[in-house]
Amino acid sequence: MNVFSDFDFNIIVRSLPYLFREGMTFTLTLTAIATVGGVLLGTLIAMARLSSLPVLPAIAASYVNVMRALPLVLVIFLFYFLMPYIGQWLLHTDRPIKVGALSSTIITFTLFEAAYFSEIMRAGIQSIPRGQVAAGYAIGLTYPQMMRYVVLPQAFRNMLPVIFTQMIVLFQDTSLVYVLSITDFLGAASKVGQRDGRLTEMYLFAAVVYFIISLTASTLVKRLQARIAIAR
């Protein structure tokens, strides 16, 4: 007897539009926003950490250390429950403000990923020879101009493979939003599975999809890495 005879794989075909149009769209959007936001914020944090100003490096380092010491699920919960109060404090309102699960998630992932991206960008900035900095200053660039036109483009370029690799990890981590009952790809699969009592099929399918996307992406990153290596 076929072990799969109890399974109904048709459920997958029937739920495809829902899984991808709702679930995967959210997953990819969150991944993209958190990556762009995380890299931008992370770059600022990295620059703060490397700055020669007095307190700034310590603040930046604490931020990174705290974020990296906490499990992501905990941070998701914590921010979800804290954000209304933080908003109240920031905006001086009478009551805790309403922050939806969606915006809470986007902010959380951006802030959380920024800690990781800042370490990547810090390594990238430090990989640029000091002579480049001197050359930038020597033609009269100010510190912000020198970073913007000389150091950061090279740092970003050198770190691109690592940034994409982190993005793949992030893509998988977005599934943790299920704790706030948000319909990402895994959440969508889970909902369909629970509704129809077909959890095994749906989870199997979700696993295959995550695997294919992640593997394809990391193969592309490897190719990119080779191309960057030649261009230098």
Is 220 an interacting residue with respect to other proteins (CB under 8 A)?
no
Question: Residue 226 CB, nearest distance to other proteins (Å)?
Answer: 16
Closest to 21 (Cα-Cα) out of 208, 185, 210, 200: 185
Interface pattern 95-134 for other proteins (x via CB under 8 A)? ----------------------------------x-xx-x
Question: Residue 123 CB, nearest distance to other proteins (Å)?
Answer: 17
Structure tokens at 76: 């998701």
Question: Residue 138 CB, nearest distance to other proteins (Å)?
Answer: 4
Element (H, E) at 208: helix 199-231
Question: Residue 30 CB, nearest distance to other proteins (Å)?
Answer: 31
Radius of gyration of the chain (CA): 22
Which residue do the tokens 């706030």 mark?
A: 180
Structure tokens at 127: 């990989």
Is 159 an interacting residue with respect to other proteins (CB under 8 A)?
no
- CB neighbour list of residue 176: distance below 8 Å, 6 or more residues apart: 72, 73, 76
Rank residues 77 and 156 by Cβ distance to other proteins and give the closer one.
156
Q: Judging by beta carbons within 10 Å of its beta carbon (0-12, 13-18, 19+), is residue 66 exposed, middle or buried?
A: exposed
Kindly determine how many residues on this chain lie close enough to bind other proteins according to the rule CB under 8 A: 20
Is 139 an interacting residue with respect to other proteins (CB under 8 A)?
yes
Is 73 an interacting residue with respect to other proteins (CB under 8 A)?
no
Number of H helices, E strands in the chain: 10, 0
- The Cα 57–Cα 94 span in angstroms is 34
Is 51 an interacting residue with respect to other proteins (CB under 8 A)?
no
Per CB under 8 A, which of residues 176..205 are in contact with other proteins? none
Phi first, then psi, for residue 124 (nearest 5°) are -65, -45
Question: Residue 128 CB, nearest distance to other proteins (Å)?
Answer: 10
Is 137 an interacting residue with respect to other proteins (CB under 8 A)?
yes
> Is residue 202 a contact partner of residue 190, using CB atoms and an 8 Å limit?
yes
Rank residues 158 and 166 by Cβ distance to other proteins and give the closer one.
158
Is 157 an interacting residue with respect to other proteins (CB under 8 A)?
yes
> Which positions lie near other proteins, rule CB under 8 A?
129, 131-132, 134-142, 145, 149-150, 153-154, 157, 231-232
